[in-house]
Amino acid sequence: MLAPASNRHFENCSHYGVLCGMSTPVGAGVRPRLLALAPLTLLPLVLAGCGTGGAATAGQTAPPAESSTTAPAATEQAASTPRLAVTHEGGVTVLDATTLEQVGEVELPGYLRLNPAGDGRHVAVSTTGGFRLLDAGTWAEPHGDHDHYWTSDPALTDTTYAATEPGHVVVHEGRTVFFDDGTGTFTTVDSADVADPAAEQLQLKTPAAHHGVAVQLTDGSFVVSEGTSEARTGIRVLDASGAEVSRNDSCPGVHGEAVAADEAVVIGCTDGVLVHTGGQTGTTTKVQAPDAYGRIGNQAGHEESPFVLGDYKSDGAAAEAETLERPTRVSIIDTRDASLRLVDLPASYTFRSLARGEDGEGLVLGTDGALHVIDPATATVVRSVPVVAPWEEPEEWQEPRPVVRVHEGTAYVTEPATREVHAVDIATGEVFATTTLDVVPDELAVATGEAPHQHGEDGEHAHTDGEHAHEHETASA
């Protein structure tokens, strides 16, 4: 296990509200203290850390916390060994992704959420106190022109990215961003060093806390949601130091993001999406939904494809009444011309139903039990693969329902009703492995066992998280 990442104290070093790091670090496990901000008209987004060296030194952190435990024994493998992390009531089960055999179990109370941490080895578990890293026990070590592959027993580490309400985790081009809905603070770190207590981190803070999201682009800039606890309204584009360079306020109900080819960022709205291209000096375009209420709140992107797969809800009355809508259409956004097309499906689906295949195909797990494969270029369903028994979306979004996640050419699908996890060959439709758990599976994440590369994990970037219960229609993330 690793010791908790060390954090810095912050003091108010500017009457404009900029927060700067003190020279004396606080002990490991203490959260950074973000002071009250100046009026928002003075500085809309505040940098939690600055120095005399300017933006390049803004994210410096305290000296590393020391690890107080010994790492588990490692075994070298001939190839990468992907693993699956599966949440359930009371903990997380870790499976071998090829055989689906159980290789580990960790106990952890509470309702748990999962996201890949970006390094191919760790999974971020959203739990009390923040994003706690689970070591899935599989990794690669580069050695010249090749890698060496290792496995060990999975273990829950002591490395936690503090958050009062841990929300979205975004991995893109070697950077991982953790967003705290409770404070509006988001922390960015090199994905390869995400579990290192000594890793340099940069913290930024939005003007108001909200259920938000942030992605860092290769030029160092950020695309960040804008909103309050009452309403989310658009996005800001920030430079690498946290200064605002542009904004767009025409995106009510902002939720989720996906990154497509050429770093096109798609952000969902209740009436379409925003498409931002060109990084710090780029432009943001509103793509209007064909319905007055046309909510796209969850998206799945592939960083080598110009298309983004999104959900689509059009029942404004259900949204107003906070009742369940069971949509039967999905959206395809073409980031090259900022266009949107809808695809009719033979069944409904939920926010955990969206994924992308290795070649960029869209995947939707329907309530008819089939995995529907979509050609995004033509916006058509090309085949449907039976995987699980027909199911119904539960009323509460926290209740387990089937989920699909993808690694290379395999789709992993949970079936809570039977406590099963299935592995499906996307190209052939063959369910080539199934395991039955002793627990009811809920969320699912993949640890690839591969070293981070320029397209994050698997060349896929998806954000399909449910929203907090107090701000969305029942179970309709």
In this prediction, residues 80-103 reach a mean pLDDT of: 97
Q: Closest Cα partner for 51 from 241, 227, 180?
A: 241
Buried b (16+ CB within 10 A) or exposed e, 397-414: beebbbbbbbbbebbbbb
The DSSP annotation for 385-446 comes to: EE-S------SSTTS----EEEETTEEEEEETTTTEEEEEETTT--EEEEEE-SS----EEE
Q: State yes or no: pLDDT of 463 exceeds 90.
A: no
Q: pLDDT digit string (tens) for 11-53?
A: 233 222 233 333 222 223 323 323 222 222 222 333 333 332 3
pLDDT in tens, 148-164: 999 999 999 999 999 99
Backbone CA torsion sign across 189, 195, 200, 202: positive
For residue 265, what are the β-bridge partners? 259, 276
Per-residue pLDDT tens digits for 161-203:
999 999 999 999 999 999 999 999 999 999 999 999 899 999 9
Which structural domains are found in the chain, ordered by start? 71-471 (2.130.10.10)
The mean pLDDT of 75-97, rounded to a whole number, is 97
**142 band by pLDDT with thresholds 50, 70 and 90:** confident
C-alpha 477/C-alpha 468 separation (Å) is 8
55 three-state secondary structure:
helix
Q: pLDDT tens digits for 229-241?
A: 999 999 999 999 9
pLDDT score of 456 more than 90: no
For CA atoms 236, 282, 218, 355, give the dihedral sign. Answer: positive
Q: Which residues of 62-93 are buried (b: 16+ CB within 10 A; e: fewer)?
A: beebebeeeeeeeeeeeebbbbbbbbbeebbb
As a whole number of angstroms, the distance between CA 475 and CA 465 comes to 11
Which residues have a Cβ under 8 Å from the Cβ of 260 and sit 6 or more positions away? 266, 301, 302, 303, 305, 306, 307, 308, 335
Which residue do the tokens 């106190």 mark?
Answer: 129
Q: 253, 228 in Cβ contact below 8 A?
A: no
Q: Judge contact between 189 and 176, C-beta under 8 A.
A: yes
Least confident of 218-222, 424-428, 461-465: 461-465
CA distance 94 to 234: 38
Mean pLDDT score, 132-149 = 93
Give 458's DSSP letter: T
Determine which of 67-81, 311-325, 336-350 has the lowest per-residue pLDDT on average.
67-81
CA-CA-CA-CA dihedral for 114, 116, 120, 125, to nearest 10: -40
250 Cβ contact list (under 8 Å, min separation 6): 234, 269, 274, 286
Q: pLDDT value at position 453?
A: 62
Range of weakest confidence among 83-87, 88-92, 353-357, 470-474: 470-474
Token pair in block for residue 466:
């449910």
Q: Rounded to an integer, what distance in angstroms lies between the CA atom of residue 216 and that of residue 188?
A: 8
Mean of pLDDT values over 130-140: 97
